[in-house]
Amino acid sequence: MTATGSTSAAAANQPPPLAGYNLYEADAALVEGLRREGGAPWEDEVAAFGAALGGEPLEWGRLANEHPPRLRTHDRYGERIDEIEFHPAWDSLLRLGLDARVHSLPWIDSRPGAHVARAALFMLLGQVEAGVGCPLSMTFAAVPVLRAADDLAHEWVRRLTVGGALCGMALTERQGGSDVRANVTTALPAGGSWELHGHKWFCSAPMSDAFLVLAHAPAGLSCFLLERPQPGFRIDRLKDKLGNRSNASAEIRLEGGVARLVGEEGRGLRTILEMVNHTRLDCVLGSTALMRRAVAEATHHAANRSVFGRVLAEQPLMQNVLADLAVESEAATVTALRLARAYDEDDRAFRRLATAVCKFWICKRTPPLVAEALECLGGNGYVEDSQLPRLFRESPLNSIWEGSGNVNALDVLRALEREPEAVAAFVAEVELAAGADRLLDAALAELKDDLVDTAEPETRARRLVERLALALQGSLLVRHGDPSVADAFCAARLGGGGSVYGTLPTGLAVRAITDRHRPVLGS
């Protein structure tokens, strides 16, 4: 740029694009969490991934969304092909994820901490573009399901982890949604395999090489692995979605689709549950990534723009808003990495309840956070040149995918009723911070009262899950978070703060909190 151009740009009072920095090294909460929760052996790899993502991949994310996938049902000769065409930017982003082993790290590396390292990689990629997270997540989550069938595991686990194959999922039908027991797709025995007949209202990643599918066999709802391409698998159309536009989702028809049984016939829900647990973990990671990117954009903008004669980030009201957003983001990061460690340790008691609680709460908190971050940019945040409109469109998805908020709240109630060991493990985790903060102690006491209250459980379910989440996040921040962030969280989230962002009580280190979360270009 010429000197004149530089002067003109400075006079325009416009912040430079947030690019050209290491996404990992700029996120103190992620760096600290990776080391604390056991992912330190992979830190060099994670840091290198963060550095790579801060360059050209940011532009790939924009291009992949501006040029969403297209369905080609027939070739030039009129033959049915059902091929999905992606923009090269999508292919490049997916290749980055595959090369970083986002889809496979814990399954191919037995060192402790692999789930935590993989969580960090997933969150970094999610800041650049969330769409590729869908096929990577489902391929990752399919592996423990397929291990329930020795013949399929022998054939498919290696293909999915190191062979470049992808696995999608086709559970949802028009008439049932989350109520998969209402599915009407049928499975008929056909020699050593099965034939599937029916429609699926949502097929995730329909370009994949294989799919886990639920269908009614003679003994009841069962789980099947269906390979593609094959004549019995037809794509009717791609979904025109609010967000996640770079990724393909489809309505499909199964017309005698040849599939193989996974697990025990009639036990499809139990079989698929292992996949759902892992993809719910990724919903938490993905929403945490969106929070982090939104906070990075907001703090960067405010530090580089002047309004009413002062830098925006130096104005008290904006400092309160930015610090409040940063507190929410750090709480999500600390919680997501602790949850990932539970998968490393195969701590099924803790993760049983924590996964559903965190999936509900962190995914639910993401849309209002992204909306507030967008507002920090003013009109700049409302135009597509910034990343915020794309983040905003993406922000509701994880709260819907793998069970809406109500579905997860009801799942928490089931765990509370049927799995006392899960409740005990969760409460024990929160109690590790007992005596460290009076507001947290009071919140824990109220939570224990709630847990024994049996009146109208479904009516109270969301409030109970909220209290579980806040107690867990408060405990983790008090023990492991930055002290200024922990103080702000307890004061605002446990001490009866305001209902919108930017209502932190006075006397908190809001400037220090904001500076901690602001990325520095060139870092």
pLDDT of residue 178: 83
* Residue range(s) in the chain whose domain bears CATH number 2.40.110.20: 167-267
Q: Stretch 482-488: mean pLDDT, rounded?
A: 98
The fold adopted by the segment(s) 167-267 is Butyryl-CoA Dehydrogenase, subunit A; domain 2 (2.40.110)
Quickly state the pLDDT bin for 498 (edges 50, 70, 90).
confident
The residue ranking higher by pLDDT, 196 or 496, is: 196
Asked if residue 23 has pLDDT above 80, the reply is yes
Asked if residue 7 has pLDDT above 50, the reply is no
pLDDT of residue 58: 96
Instruction: Give CA–CA dist 264/499, Å, rounded.
Output: 48
Asked if residue 32 has pLDDT above 50, the reply is yes
Q: What tokens were used for 435?
A: 């005596």
Quickly state the pLDDT bin for 4 (edges 50, 70, 90).
very low
Q: Locate tokens 């400075």: which residue?
A: 10
CB atoms within 10 A of CB 402: 25
Asked if residue 265 has pLDDT above 80, the reply is yes
Asked if residue 2 has pLDDT above 50, the reply is no
User: What amino acid is encoded at 447 in this protein?
Assistant: L
Quickly state the pLDDT bin for 48 (edges 50, 70, 90).
very high
May I ask the CATH architecture of the domain 271-517? Up-down Bundle (1.20)
Coil vs helix vs strand at 306: strand
Asked if residue 8 has pLDDT above 70, the reply is no
Coil vs helix vs strand at 501: coil
Q: Stretch 380-401: mean pLDDT, rounded?
A: 96
Provide the 8-state DSSP code for 493: I
**pLDDT above 70 coverage of the chain, percent:** 98
Q: Which residue blocks in 304-347 are alpha helix, DSSP H?
A: 316-344
Q: Tell me: the pLDDT tens digits for 281-296?
A: 999 999 999 999 999 9
pLDDT of residue 9: 46
pTM, full prediction: 0.96
Instruction: Give CA–CA dist 136/143, Å, rounded.
Output: 12
* Dihedral of alpha carbons 91, 134, 70, 198, sign: positive
Q: Stretch 110-130: mean pLDDT, rounded?
A: 97
Q: Stretch 353-378: mean pLDDT, rounded?
A: 98
pLDDT of residue 3: 40
User: What amino acid is encoded at 388 in this protein?
Assistant: L
Considering the chain, what is the average pLDDT of its residues?
Answer: 95
Q: What are phi and psi of 200, to 5 degrees?
A: -120, 125
Q: Stretch 211-235: mean pLDDT, rounded?
A: 96
Asked if residue 307 has pLDDT above 60, the reply is yes
List, in sequence order, every residue forming a beta bridge with 190; answer none if it has no partner. Answer: 193
Q: Tell me: the pLDDT tens digits for 158-199?
A: 999 999 999 999 999 998 788 888 899 999 999 999 999 999
Half-sphere exposure of 81 (CA within 13 A, CB side): 12
Instruction: Give CA–CA dist 509/513, Å, rounded.
Output: 6
pLDDT of residue 1: 37
Q: Tell me which long-range contacts 157-163 makes (C-beta under 8 A, separation of at least 24).
A: 157/107, 159/209, 160/103, 160/104, 161/103, 161/104, 161/107, 161/108, 162/104, 162/108
Q: What tokens were used for 9?
A: 């740009």
- Beta strands per DSSP E along 132-232: 167-172, 186-190, 193-204, 210-217, 220-227
Instruction: Give CA–CA dist 137/144, Å, rounded.
Output: 12
What is the per-residue DSSP string for 451-481? HH--SSHHHHHHHHHHHHHHHHHHHHHHHHS
Q: Stretch 469-494: mean pLDDT, rounded?
A: 98
pLDDT of residue 150: 87
pLDDT of residue 496: 84
Q: What tokens were used for 386?
A: 């910034």
Whether the ω angle into residue 368 lies within 30 degrees of 0, i.e. cis, is no
Instruction: Give CA–CA dist 389/288, Å, rounded.
Output: 17
User: What amino acid is encoded at 340 in this protein?
Assistant: A
| Residues whose CB is less than 8 angstroms from the CB of residue 416 and which lie 6 or more positions away in sequence, other chains included | 353, 423, 451
Quickly state the pLDDT bin for 523 (edges 50, 70, 90).
low
